[in-house]
Structure 1
């Protein structure tokens, strides 16, 4: 659980609500279902329009990484690679066949299977590099829906504000309806700008960080597998991969 993300989101929301109270306003003034529907519904609709269905669904699922991020233990990867290198040096590449079936990561299992099958190091590198590129392209396309939402939300908020003002102008003869219309107008702007800068854009940035970390982990695995395929000394393998720890 990423406590920083939870604390940051709560802090941002509490700061806005506290500011409203300190200014003498009422919290209820910030609760406008109509404005929420316009901004959030409009933003989701715009993002769905610009995205492929697969990217949109993948992006929504990827959102959980903000609060439950994937664990990337580079030290553990280094230890596993060194262990495999030692096994291969003592018993040959076929000694690693026992690890293939128990490997849960499809990327690692594919590379390990190629290694056991005696594929050339260059072939292993090319195949895994294509896999990494494809993963990064898919993941970034999925994460981009949050960045897009951050771009659309403020504009949709302005649309909501204009709609509220139109409602006000239509009811100038009835002063009792002016307050509600103006409230919707300004709250829609707050929802648009606030959701973009407190939720959508920060989520997008954090997801890009996790994607970069996963890409780096895969690159580390690639270098380890290729080094083992080349038959290099496990100590050289450890020295080569140590750079990924920093």
Structure 2
């Protein structure tokens, strides 16, 4: 755990001290580099503005470590992803954001599609983050991965029955599954990954099978799904 924190802290230092990921309406396709010429905005002011949706104690510890090592103050603006993207877009060239830190690559894709990000040329990032965990145009980089776990009722589900997400469309789960709505970014990213793996036709068949297995209309957040399982409304 300590080594992982050191690695992430190192990458955050590279991001915060070396690059500006947020851009206004112009220059979105112009790459930022780690040279002093491109980092003057941060070093001259001695501050960097981080727009983040994350709310973990470890993030704060890493930012404090960055401040101690770099001497640069981090101003944190915390809000939901949609609100942050809307603010950056509305502010345009006058945006106060230097860096966007959020959950799920789907949201970063949306930011890129809105022309809110610029590409980054950083040997530190290239050497530490594999191609599959960063944008093909280097406009965003993945720092962490999140496990998508299946919550189940141990008194109603034998763990040996569980295997893959693909298997959740099996008719044996008819009327037993709770999930969030399809307009949730996490579910959209999951579906996108299946389209990439299987193609659109098979991914659609899987989604239709999963829909038939729902115990209720999709609703609520992650905790709401776990609550539904605990209350007996669903088994998964």
Tell me the TM-score normalized by structure 2: 0.26
Higher strand share: 2
Rg (Cα) greater in structure: 1
Q: Report 1 or 2 for greater relative contact order, CA contacts < 8 Å, sequence distance ≥ 6.
A: 1
Tell me the TM-score normalized by structure 1: 0.25
Higher helix share: 1
